[in-house]
Amino acid sequence: QLSLLSVLVAMVLSWLMRIHVAWPSWGIPGASWLSKAGAPHGVISPEYYLSLMTMHGTLMVFFVLTTAPLAAFGNYFLPIQIGAKDMAFPRLNMLSFWTTFLAFLVLLSSLFVGDMPATSGWTAYPPLSAVGAISGPGEGLGQTLWIISIAIFCVGSLFGSINFIATTLDQRCKGMTLMRMPLTVWAWFITSCMSLVAFSVLLPACVLLILDRIAGTSFFVPAGLVISDRLQPYSGGSPLLWQHLFWFFGHPEVYIAILPAMGIVSHVLTASMRRPMLSHKAIIYSMIAIGFLSYLLWGHHMFVSGMNPYSSLVFSLPTLVITIPSTIITLIWIGSLYGSKLRITSASLFALGFISVFVSGGVSGFLLAQPSLDTYLHATYFVVGHFHLIMGVAAVFGIFAGTYFWFSKVTGLMMDERLGKLHFWLTFVGAYCIFMPFYYLGLAGNVRRESQFVSNHMQSLMPVHRFITVAALLTGAAQLIFFYNLVHSRLRGKTAITNPWEATSLEWSIASLPPTENFIGQVEVLHDPYQYGMEGSPIDYLMQAKVLPNAPAQNSIIASAPNGIVHPSAAKTGIWVFIAASLMSFAALTSAMLVRQGSTQDWISFPLPVIFYLSTLVLLSSSVVLEIARRSFLEANYSAASRQLAVKRLLSIVLLFGAVFLGGQATVVWQLQAQGWSLAKVPSASFFYLFVAAHALHVLIGLLALAWLLDKLYGVKLRKQSFDIFAIYWHFASVLSLGICGLWMVVR
């Protein structure tokens, strides 16, 4: 529902943009209601056009393409498809949703508060996004809200990723080996791994950007910048640094949007073709390869930034190589489709449509991967056509395919197939009418991000723009069919049977509108998920799992994890995944520091107070004490009263050491500030304070957990797993302090 709302808002914003591009002098009814300053008398100003573009891009990329295929479908179907009762951490799941919802509200509020929303695009390039209101309309409160919203979204996504990874690795039912998992589950798992890394980098990048705006630091804004005849007080940051961090997130983000859709399409197509894919394993390995390679491409977004040409070559190669697994998957789809008895349903039509637009958008990617061609095409509508087709339309087709396929399972009611097919054809033809002309515009040199082309050499291209606008309006209107179908079917749809598509995976073994705990009884997976085309039997498929409804509740989740208690193995996986995310964030800060250090000559070393080293030593000592306490707790004779008291005392010492460490770090910051090493003026100090604050936050969380642990210990309710997990976390925090200490001894 959140994604549906987002896509509605984003679609309306895109209509406003397209109408303005095609007929720049038109007053659009209702536009002035959105912003009187941005659209006086309904005529959209160039700045407001950029605001609309920013909001459209942000809503679509973050709240639709990232959220719907992964968080929406994944949260519902991942546990069912692996035979689990629920996600590993249901509370974290809920927290993830509400965090994302909060991010959405913050972003949406920027449409109505302040002068107008941010104008710097969904990529938020500094210095425009970093210098504040002086750089123009929308760059005051609007941009600040944008950054806060994205930072909150990162937190929500990280929660989700931890949950998905732990659920996939630790919650699988009997017989569900990794290679027996459906392609959807593989896609969600790989995407979660990618999200984990990508959002761990975007989060600190947002923190740096917001510090540039509100604390006057100079991470991204170069020295000597003059705006409105005023020299800006920045000491020499680098706008390239933002590109470096942002695109590390931004490129995997493309695959974060598309991989779940690939999984859904494979899943839907297999059921529709009545035969397995030519190679189930090849699709899995290709998706893994895409996930792995997606981390090595981000530099290609900086081809035109003046970066070292040899670095361009390094990034160009994996950019070309990543097309290989994508091509393998596409060829497997096409090869599997050839000669199959395809059942034409709304879901299968959208899956076929996905392949079509994915190829149409992907082929243009070959051209953009070539630095010399990218130089010409980079700032044109060619890129707009490319990413809309491959990332936007393809992923949206995947979402539609999933919706038509699984609607009956979620609601217990069927969607209207005739309306679904009509919706497909109008959307399919409409999408091509909108986005293929973008390629033509790009090749003709039509630059993007400009709000009107009436008074320059691009005027001759206006008929193409008008055609695109009409197509966009009609295609958008066609979506009303989908919304009508969705609402009508929800209210008056035909009752769905358990397995309307005669599909094989686990979700089709349970009742449509699944019971609260998904499975009642024991689930056992017998083979891989796509056993179609069986000969010599009345039905041509074999269900993947055996569910024994009358068997006693032996499902391990019920047996091992009563309500409110997280599965021990999943909890351990969860904490390690959290540590990986933390490490990635610190790596991003370290990388940013190295780039910033070399960008200008304003890097000044400063002496670290002795108390910094001492407090690090205190934290390390606390780790040793904790380990002694843990071992005492694990000993068989723990129940002895004296031993219990010893453990309690040792943990209290750890608590004390942690508090001393925090006090020590606060003193370090206070001393450095007193010596004139301010956050805003000295870049080395800016980074030091950031490292200290980020680490202190980790220790603070650890102290709160320790207080909880002590409370449980006094109540004699403490479980071994809680102690173990806390110990892992605390040791990590200690090792991190040592790492930060070492880093600053080398770098400062």
Site for other proteins in 627-686 (CB under 8 A): 636, 638-639, 641, 644
Beta carbons of 458 and 384 less than 8 angstroms apart: no
Tokens of 466: 């008008």
162 or 434, CB closer to other proteins? 162
The CB-of-75 to other proteins minimum distance in angstroms stands at 19
Residue 171 DSSP symbol: -
Q: What is the spatial distance between Cα 326 and Cα 185, in angstroms, rounded to a whole number?
A: 18
Check binding of 179 to other proteins (CB under 8 A).
yes
C-alpha to C-alpha distance for 183 and 81, rounded to whole angstroms: 10
Bond into 127 cis (ω within 30) = yes
3-state SS assignment for residue 26: coil
Buried/exposed 492-529: b ≥16 CB within 10 Å, e otherwise: ebeebeebbbebbbbbbbbebebeeebbbebbebeebb
As a whole number of angstroms, the longest Cα–Cα distance in the chain is 89
Per CB under 8 A, which of residues 47..76 are in contact with other proteins? Answer: none
Please provide the size of the chain in residues.
Answer: 748
- Contact between 371 and other proteins per CB under 8 A: yes
Site string for other proteins, 80-99 (x = CB under 8 A): ----x---------------
Question: DSSP states of 477-540 as a string?
Answer: HHHHHHHHHHHHHHHHPPBP-S-TT---SGGGGS-SS--TTS-SSEEEE-S-S-EE---SSSSS
Helix (H) or strand (E) holding 598, with range, is: helix 568-599
Span from 22-30, 202-210, 540-548, 593-601 in contact with other proteins (CB under 8 A): 593-601
CB of 574 to other proteins, least distance (A): 12
Instruction: Note whether 583 binds other proteins by CB under 8 A.
Output: yes
Binding status of residue 201 toward other proteins by CB under 8 A: yes
The candidate with the shortest Cα–Cα distance to 513, out of 496, 529, 501, is 496
Tell me which residues in 436-495 interact with other proteins (CB under 8 A).
none
Residue that the structure tokens 């969860």 belong to? 574
Write the CB contacts of 199 (distance below 8 Å, at least 6 apart in sequence). Answer: 153, 154, 157, 158, 161, 249, 581
Q: Of residues 696-735, which lie at the interface with other proteins (CB under 8 A)?
A: 716, 719-720
Cβ closest to other proteins, residue 307 vs residue 666: 307
308: left (phi over 0), alpha (psi -120 to 50) or beta: beta
Q: Which is nearer to other proteins, 291 or 476 (CB)?
A: 291
CB nearer to other proteins: pick between 492 and 717: 717
Closest Cα to residue 507, out of 101, 74, 159? 74
* Closer to other proteins by Cβ: residue 341 or 719: 719
Binding residue (CB under 8 A) for other proteins from 454, 534, 594, 745? 594
Q: Which region, judged by CB under 8 A, interacts with other proteins, from 90-98, 173-181, 350-358, 400-408?
A: 173-181
Member of 42, 175, 445, 500 binding other proteins (CB under 8 A): 175
Least Cβ distance, residue 618 to other proteins (angstroms): 27
Contact stretch for other proteins (CB under 8 A) within 57-65, 321-329, 369-377, 536-544: 369-377
* Pairwise CA distance, residues 474 & 611, whole Å: 67
Q: How far is the CB of 109 from other proteins (least distance, A)?
A: 30
For residue 216, give the 3-state DSSP assignment: coil
Which residues make Cβ contacts (< 8 Å) with residue 165, sequence separation at least 6? 189, 192, 193, 196, 573, 574, 577
Collapsing DSSP to helix, strand or coil, 215 comes out as: coil
Residue from 560, 605, 673, 675 binding other proteins (CB under 8 A): 560
Site string for other proteins, 377-416 (x = CB under 8 A): -xx-------------------------------------
Q: Closer to other proteins by CB, 240 or 481: give it.
A: 240
Cβ nearer to other proteins, comparing 657 with 729: 729
| Binds other proteins (CB under 8 A): choice among 68, 103, 162, 193 | 193
Smallest gap from Cβ 378 to other proteins, in A, equals 5
Task: Judge contact between 210 and 148, C-beta under 8 A.
Answer: yes
- Going by DSSP bridges, is the β-strand pair 531-532/541-542 parallel, antiparallel, or unpaired? antiparallel
Choose between 179 and 656: whose C-beta lies nearer to other proteins. Answer: 179
| Binders in 152-171 for other proteins, by CB under 8 A | 165, 169-171
Look at residues 510, 519, 513 and name the one whose alpha carbon lies nearest to residue 490: 513
Residues 519-558 touching other proteins, rule: CB under 8 A, are 555-557
Rounded least distance, CB 614 to other proteins, Å: 28
**Choices 36-44, 259-267, 273-281, 578-586; region in contact with other proteins by CB under 8 A:** 578-586
Task: Figure out which of the listed residues 40, 521, 568, 739 binds other proteins, where binding follows CB under 8 A.
Answer: 568
How far apart, in whole angstroms, are the C-alpha atoms of residue 549 and residue 509? 11
The amino acid sitting at 520 is I
What number of helices (H) and strands (E) belong to the chain?
23, 6
End-to-end CA distance of the chain: 49
**Near other proteins by CB under 8 A: residue from 569, 632, 652, 671:** 569
Q: How many residues line the site for other proteins (CB under 8 A)?
A: 85
Residue 584 is a binding residue for other proteins (CB under 8 A): yes
At closest approach, how far in Å is the CB of 442 from other proteins? 13
Residue ranges in 600-629 that form contacts with other proteins under rule CB under 8 A: 600
Q: Determine the angle formed by the axes of helices 394-411 and 239-273, rounding to 10 degrees.
A: 50
**Nearer Cβ to other proteins (307/628):** 307
Strand partners for 230: 227
Q: Which of 515, 598, 607, 676 binds other proteins (CB under 8 A)?
A: 598
| Binders of other proteins in range 244-303 (CB under 8 A) | 244, 248, 291-292, 295-296, 299, 302-303
- Among 10, 55, 68, 176, the residue binding other proteins under the rule CB under 8 A is 176
Site for other proteins in 113-132 (CB under 8 A): 125, 127
Minimum distance of other proteins from residue 590's CB (angstroms): 5
Tell me if 307 contacts other proteins by CB under 8 A: yes
Q: Which stretch binds other proteins (CB under 8 A): 237-245, 384-392, 475-483, 492-500?
A: 237-245
- Only one residue has tokens 């031993």, namely 643
What's the closest the beta carbon of residue 686 comes to other proteins, in angstroms? Answer: 16
User: Based on CB atoms, which residue is closest to other proteins, 311 or 495?
Assistant: 311
Task: Tell me 414's DSSP state.
Answer: P
Helix H, strand E, coil C: the string for 330-387 is: HHHHHHHHCCCCCCCCHHHHHHHHHHHHHHHHHHHHHHHCCHHHHHHHCCEHHHHHHH
Burial 600-613 (b: 16+ CB within 10 A, else e): eebbeeeebbebbe
Question: Using the rule CB under 8 A, which residue among 18, 172, 213, 251 binds other proteins?
Answer: 172
